[in-house]
Amino acid sequence: MADPPRKAVDEAYGSSLVGFTRAVYQDRVRDLAAAIHEGDGAAGAEAPDAGGVLHALFGKWVEAEAAFRGALKDDPALVSAYVNLANVRLLTQDDDGALDVVLEGLTRNQDSPLLNLLAARIYADKGDTEHTAAYYARLKRSSPSSPSDTRAWQRRGRWRRAGVGG
């Protein structure tokens, strides 16, 4: 059996990708835009946050950041929007920007386990042992029963370099 011509494979792939993008991305963005238009306050903030996640899944970083910022404008205490925005910054190699976002979120919700964990992780990656330990301690105080991934981090050397977790 002969392989199909490369051009035919490329055309079929391109056609299926366009259909997939339309079905999964564009239609969902349209649905979320409608939900944003209908929502208000905290309920309305969830739709742009979900839209930001969708944009990020498709590597549309500018659109993702705009959606997360929109969610934060509607609900400045929405922890998931800070976490998601910081993750977009991390994915685009902007560790300092990610840290700024996390610290901004912590001014609104200083006991957030997610934000404290993310702050500790970013500081650990930067090799800042003092801040890593401080945010890890805040995490344990705010959520003492929360499972942590210190064993995995120890294997990768993050916590060990930061002097945290045994």
Q: Where residue 41 falls among pLDDT bands split at 50, 70, 90?
A: very low
> What is the separation, in whole angstroms, between the first and last Cα of the chain?
60
What Å distances lie between residue 8 and 5, 104, 113, CA to CA?
A: 5, 51, 51
For 26, the domain range is 6-162
Q: What confidence score (pLDDT) does residue 160 get?
A: 46
Q: Please indicate, yes or no, if residue 13 is contained in any of the structural domains.
A: yes
Is 1 inside any structural domain?
Answer: no
d(CA 110, CA 144): 15
Residue-wise pLDDT for 98-145, tens only, equals 999 999 999 999 999 999 999 999 999 999 999 999 998 898 888 776
In a domain, 135, yes or no: yes
Given a cut of 60, whether residue 10 has pLDDT beyond it is yes
Give the CATH number of the domain where residue 106 resides. Answer: 1.25.40.10
- Total domains present in the chain: 1
User: Is 73 contained in some domain?
Assistant: yes
pTM over 0.85: no
Residue 88: is its pLDDT beyond 90? yes
At residue 27 the predicted structure's pLDDT band, cuts being 50, 70 and 90, is low
Who wins on pLDDT, 91 or 161? 91
| CB 151, CB 166: distance < 8 Å | no
Among residues of the chain, what percentage have pLDDT more than 90?
41
